Amino acid sequence: MNKVQVDYTDAMKLTTEVIGSYGALLVANNRAGRPNVMTIGWATYGIIWGKPMMLVLVRPSRHTYKFIEEADSFTVNLPPPDMADVATYCGTVSGRDADKFKEKNLTPVPGKQVSASYIDECVVHFECRIAHKNHVLPQLLDPEINKGCYPNGDYHVIYYGEILGCYKSEDYEL
Ligand SMILES: Cc1cc2nc3c(=O)[nH]c(=O)nc-3n(C[C@H](O)[C@H](O)[C@H](O)COP(=O)(O)O)c2cc1C
C-alpha cells in the first residue's frame, strides 16, 4: 500500500478514538529484527523536550517487553474499524504462542525512518525513536490506581518515543 507522510497533528483525532476503543497496534522488533505486535489502550502524546513524543506503556510480563527492551524504536499503527477483531486478537494472544502477523495476514514493512516495522494494512502509523523510559513507581502512585491497576505488581514501563514520522495510506481520508 502506498503511504504518504502527514503532519502527526492531523492524525490525533483518529489516534485518540482508536486508542480509546479497540486499541492501536504497537510493533517492536527484537535484536534479530523479528517484529512482534500487541494491542495498546494506554498511550499518550504531546511535546516534551521541545519534540513531539508518543508515550506507550508496556507491562514486563508482555512478550513485547522483551522485544522493545532490545530495540531503539517502535511503531504505533492504527487499524481501521473493520480490523477491530485483529486488535482484539493481538490484545489477547501472546507472541510467545503464535506468530500474530501470520495468523492475521498482517504485513510487516521496515520503517521509513526507524528500524521497527510498521503494519501495511493499518491506515496510519507513527515511527518513534526511543528517547527515554521509566518505570511506574508504586511508592509515588495514587493508592487507588495502584490497587485497581496493579493487583499483581507487573508495573508498566513507559517508553517515550520521539515521533520522527507519521504516515497514512494514500487513499485514506483523515
Ligand atoms: C484493548 C486492549 C488494550 C491493551 N492495552 C495494553 C497496554 O496499553 N499495555 C500493555 O502492556 N498491555 C495492553 N493490553 C494487553 C496486551 O495487548 C496483551 O497482553 C497481548 O496479548 C500482549 O502480547 P505479547 O505477549 O505478544 O506482547 C491491551 C489489550 C487490549 C485488548
The residue whose C-alpha atom lies closest to atom 5 belonging to ligand 1 is 40
pTM, 2 dp = 0.98
Residue 174 belongs to a domain = no
User: Residue 23's domain is classified under what CATH number?
Assistant: 2.30.110.10
85 located within any domain = yes
Q: Is residue 17 assigned to a domain? A: yes
Determine, yes or no, domain membership for 70: yes
How many A from CA of 27 to the centre of ligand 1? 12
Q: Is residue 101 part of a domain?
A: yes
Domain around 159: 3-169
How many other CB atoms are found less than 10 A from the CB of residue 47?
8
Q: Structural domain tally of the chain?
A: 1
CA-proximal residue: ligand 1, atom 16 (nearest): 91
Inside any domain, residue 151: yes
Judge whether 141 lies within some domain.
yes
Reading the chain (174 residues) residue by residue, the pLDDT tens digits are 899 999 999 999 999 999 999 999 999 999 999 999 999 999 999 999 999 999 999 999 999 999 999 999 999 999 999 999 999 999 999 999 999 999 999 999 999 999 999 999 999 999 999 999 999 999 999 999 999 999 999 999 999 999 999 999 999 999
